[in-house]
Structure 1
């Protein structure tokens, strides 16, 4: 009952966190060579690239609208040499959807970790109870088919004993198969 309120509170907290972030959904992204490459300085390599991001309308997504206002003083008069080397792209993305998907993925991972923790805590209880009430069967066939009675399995024991029996049976089969493959180099039928 309280789990619904906790989940709701966490959802509201995540929603306020998502709305509080300041990212632009529309931007102009320009990749240009290093200014040192244009000025023929030895500080930078010709292959060094620099990223410029600006919040401008799509028609101003170019070197003149995004880069020159920032570095125009440095390159003085070499803008005709610098601008053709720049690649500008206008990006339109929805950061709200990206944030929601990330939050959902984080929630799923948290739920899986909580479930794994629950199973880890439950495993010693299952094994302790099963070992106290489990009697090893020498025959893998169901006893009801041998004796001729067809009693439902629920009347012969609880679900926990059946699950533990199947788990132990599977473990024995795996051990036998490993022994046959690695030691005897034979396959099971």
Structure 2
């Protein structure tokens, strides 16, 4: 099950990082106009939708006359054309898709690193629990934990991070077990 999840995560990361050519340019002219029925007073079904056109025209040619009129000239007469263009909104857009691409790649890498770290912790947990179960001693008094003993001296001498993590984890598990026993069996709370 864990291997299947790892394969799935790596496949998603691979597909998302792979470079795909965009269909949009960094610079474009986008015109949004009202429906033809608002200008012609016709209620045909084909003329009731708003019109939108995106082209690669330069900024000085980003207007209704250049972008939209050639598209709708056969459907409008001259007076309707004069009324149609003032209702259109044409904008020249200049986007930075390379910056967007790099930000997305960085976010994907951060998520990938966190997933790898999570998998590392999942694989490390059975090793810690297997090693710790052999040396397991249940302590019911916290004062005994504070006194230096052979296990704490051994741990500080080696300075092994895994031992410290597993000991803290065991201490937390013992506290939780003690608290559960007090609450559910004795119906009292810890001080």
Distance in 2 (alpha carbons) for counterparts of 1:67 and 1:30: 7
C-alpha change, 1:102 and 1:185, in structure 2 (3 Å) is: farther
- 1:66 maps to what in 2? 67
Which residues in structure 2 correspond to 1:117-132 (within 5 Å)? 117-132=119-134
Distance in 2 (alpha carbons) for counterparts of 1:67 and 1:173: 73
Moved more, 90-99 or 158-167: 158-167
Distance in 2 (alpha carbons) for counterparts of 1:185 and 1:49: 70
Name segments (4+ residues, structure 1) moved above 6 Å. Answer: none
Give CA deviations for 1:6-59 in whole Å, capped at 9, x if unaligned. Answer: xxxx8xx85xx36x545311111222122344332242696x533321111112
Which residues in structure 2 correspond to 1:152-163 (within 5 Å)? 153-155=155-157, 158-163=160-165
Distance in 2 (alpha carbons) for counterparts of 1:157 and 1:116: 24
Aligned residues: 170
Secondary structure in 1 aligned to 2:29?
Answer: strand
Secondary structure in 1 aligned to 2:75?
Answer: helix
C-alpha change, 1:171 and 1:115, in structure 2 (3 Å) is: same
Give unmatched runs, 5+ long, in structure 2: 1-13
TM-score, normalisation: structure 2:
0.68
Moved more, 66-75 or 157-166: 157-166
| 8 Å contact kept, 1:33–1:86 | yes
C-alpha change, 1:157 and 1:108, in structure 2 (3 Å) is: closer
| 8 Å contact kept, 2:139–2:174 | no
TM-score, normalisation: structure 1:
0.69
C-alpha change, 1:34 and 1:136, in structure 2 (3 Å) is: same
Distance in 1 (alpha carbons) for counterparts of 2:36 and 2:173: 66
- 2:113 maps to what in 1? 111
Give unmatched runs, 5+ long, in structure 1: 1-9
| 8 Å contact kept, 1:63–1:88 | yes
Deviation at 1:112, TM superposition (A): 1.5
C-alpha change, 1:152 and 1:86, in structure 2 (3 Å) is: same
| 8 Å contact kept, 1:32–1:51 | yes
